[in-house]
Structure 1
């Protein structure tokens, strides 16, 4: 019997999905798709969690077992994760092993950080090296937020080169547009960026050798199944720098998706059959909209179930009510991305984390409006209810709550609209929704993808506003409806 049970369980265990992740920039998307599609072509079930927000989120997700694989770079690990740019290969391997991880498949190319300038401006100022920037304090420098703060980024450059500029933070996908429009003079770049040629940018020589080697590869969990590890070894040294730049150019200049660029590479290298069925994205907008609605609806419903009873419970005590509002407003002060990052070690990646964050953000408008609605009830009515012998609970449920309903509904409407907007950030933690195409569009400089997420999100917000208006007209007397 035990043998039969083991045999029955084995196929299910073998089919546990391999979870492949990526960070937000296009090269990470392409490399993740290469691994995912190659594994799928060889019989593995793959789950994708692409476009995660930043190195530390991706790394912690891998440590926590929320991911099995994601593309990473040796310099990023030593500088951004372990804060030791002098770490050698043996030291890096030991540090990773302490977290149960392994830098398993070096892909064959180095994608270093660099600073880029428009070619015409670099010629006009005779700038060829990073050290030349010290003589031009007026140059406007814009850096991705991660590069601006990580140890192997701007802090190391400014200290070593004694640069006088005060850079501003900007999303990496938008920096090249700003350079092209003349709004920036210098931005951080990757040496394999496909946009470098598209925008006519010059990479400045790192003449003091600040940047370490950023050898690309797949960072994996040590408990990754042997069969998956054996498949991934076929990708070792499969991509050189010209090939990676060409793949990035296909995405940046030609407008192909990272998935299609990965498919073309695997086919060209004879790693998958060239006659595989084409990738399709039918009903993607409907699916993303459905996920977005699900995240918002669950979060706001939970907010109502918690916030309204709490507000009713403390409404008779002004001091406690004020404390409840203060606590709810405290959650609103936490930036959404920071809150999502803080929740990952506790709740992991995915929709649970996004729903809990949206739930916290929904509390304030519901609590505040419920308390305000109860407080707005005419004191004379309260006295009449008390004189009729109604208990405090009966007064709240039969008199005050019905009269406060318009304010409560307005608070729920506000919470729903806030959640619809904030839920676009859920894609950073692998929860999906309409934020996925927006973030991917920003990364790939693809306005169509941005609109694919932004327009349905706006329509959801407008629809929510109209829906609550209909609800108020249907169920509330005219004299109680908000003006």
Structure 2
């Protein structure tokens, strides 16, 4: 237990010291293009006041950003009034924006005036197919139970999402796929899906030739885009808050569609899209300095190695002693292995989300989750290596008069070292792959270009994260093979 506490302390201390100078304003954005563009608009406006600013891009899920804002890990992020009423503050009577502001004030938060456009939810399908089937409204879907539905994962569970929509329209479809929002458009194009959820400002609606079905029963509320920010930001960075006000009422729905099209269809980087808009609409000249491919690769590699290296070191410090305990006390060892096995069965994405309330967003929850995932292979291989030592070897060590500690250090651990090293190698390779999910909670690493590539349907970006991750896994595996030549006694090498 002392080793476990010391390792966790090491992890948290290292994470806390990862950044030497905290930004004055921390901006967040969700994992879709429009939110990233709005986040970049905020970043560039705040930076124009001289304040230090950081953009935590593409965080996964509404609740991740909302909780980060409440905890003070974020200072501002773009949100929508419909999401606030129907999802975040569901169950409260909030008939107008003033009531919404009062509810947010009770949480220590403030809301800007609407930015100028309503990005409502909608359902859509290919125009030609909708025309062939005579489908124009959501009510028309009742007559076509054979249609294949696929919705974004968040829409599947939202209070204003699929369950409420199905009940409101009495839709007969029962089996509905959940998938990433950006992948749904490819599903429609390929014919794998026939109906999906849309954001009304998506540039893909026109690009893919989709029909937006009329919400004839008025299920979806208005989703006016706003900026949520912490009330204490007014005191900490009043110039930044004043700068945010310059966006209020300045982005129309057609303009937002065009900004999304620039990023998603014409592949203009979001910072440049934001800079062009600010210069055109507000007369604010912004110089966008993007990092080159090598600089990006080094940054992602550095972040990835930090996540993997620190979590693996902590796991070794804890798992090897636990493996020794499991071998020496088999009854207790079965419980230790069972607990480590249970941790291993928890889906990695779920484990990351479970860590957020305890540790917030960023590197800390990712490192602790990776640490927990690393335990089982090392514990199991340490226990197996020690338990497999022939009895006559143990008896010989005892006959020489070696005390238990010396027998473990000089005889048993060296003989078990091939098995122990194999367990560490397995954990390291698993960590390299699993660490890519850390980008969903702002931990960076190779997962960042993968997420961006999926969002922008850019195979090149996906490969910028996937290929280095695969190469790193091979390098790590080879490193442990090489390490075995120095750690494993010569007589035990295969």
TM over 0.5: yes
Asked if structure 2 preserves the Cα contact closer than 8 Å seen for 1:15 and 1:44, the reply is no
1:445 aligns with 2:451: no
The 1:271/1:367 distance shift into structure 2, 3 A limit, reads farther
How far apart, in 1, do the equivalents of 2:239 and 2:22 lie? 12
How far apart, in 1, do the equivalents of 2:23 and 2:170 lie? 52
Where does 1:453-464 land on structure 2 (aligned, <5 Å)?
Answer: 453-464=465-476
Between stretches 78-87 and 349-358, larger displacement belongs to 78-87
Deviations 1:375-432 (A, max 9, x none): 1111121122223322222222221111110111111111111111111011111111
CA-CA distance at 1:85 after TM superposition: 8.0
Asked if structure 1 preserves the Cα contact closer than 8 Å seen for 2:49 and 2:240, the reply is no
Deviations 1:225-272 (A, max 9, x none): 322211111111110100000011111110112222111111211342
The 1:467/1:94 distance shift into structure 2, 3 A limit, reads same
1:194 aligns with 2:203: yes
How far apart, in 1, do the equivalents of 2:215 and 2:92 lie? 15
2:7: which partner in 1? Answer: none
Between stretches 342-351 and 243-252, larger displacement belongs to 342-351
Asked if structure 2 preserves the Cα contact closer than 8 Å seen for 1:308 and 1:367, the reply is yes
* CA RMSD across the alignment: 1.7
Secondary structure of the residue aligned to 2:123 is: strand
Deviations 1:155-197 (A, max 9, x none): 1110001111121111111100010001100111100001111
1:157 aligns with 2:152: no
1:24: which partner in 2? Answer: 31
Query: Which residue, 62, 67, 83 being the options, matches 2:69?
Result: 62
Structure 1 stretches (4+) deviating beyond 4 angstroms? none
CA-CA distance at 1:86 after TM superposition: 5.8
CA-CA distance at 1:90 after TM superposition: 3.4
Secondary structure of the residue aligned to 2:308 is: helix
1:279: which partner in 2? Answer: 290
1:374 aligns with 2:383: no
The 1:387/1:280 distance shift into structure 2, 3 A limit, reads closer
Q: How high is the TM-score relative to the length of structure 2?
A: 0.91
Extract unaligned runs of 5+ from structure 1. Answer: 1-13
How far apart, in 2, do the equivalents of 1:45 and 1:367 lie? 45
1:180 aligns with 2:189: yes
CA-CA distance at 1:334 after TM superposition: 2.0
How far apart, in 2, do the equivalents of 1:152 and 1:91 lie? 19
- Aligned residue pairs, count: 468
Deviations 1:354-387 (A, max 9, x none): 1111111111111111111111111121122223
1:136 aligns with 2:144: yes
1:35: which partner in 2? Answer: 42
Between stretches 76-85 and 416-425, larger displacement belongs to 76-85
Between stretches 470-479 and 25-34, larger displacement belongs to 470-479
Where does 1:78-477 land on structure 2 (aligned, <5 Å)?
Answer: 78-84=85-91, 87-88=94-95, 89-165=97-173, 166-224=175-233, 225-273=237-285, 276-282=287-293, 283-477=295-489
How far apart, in 2, do the equivalents of 1:243 and 1:423 lie? 37
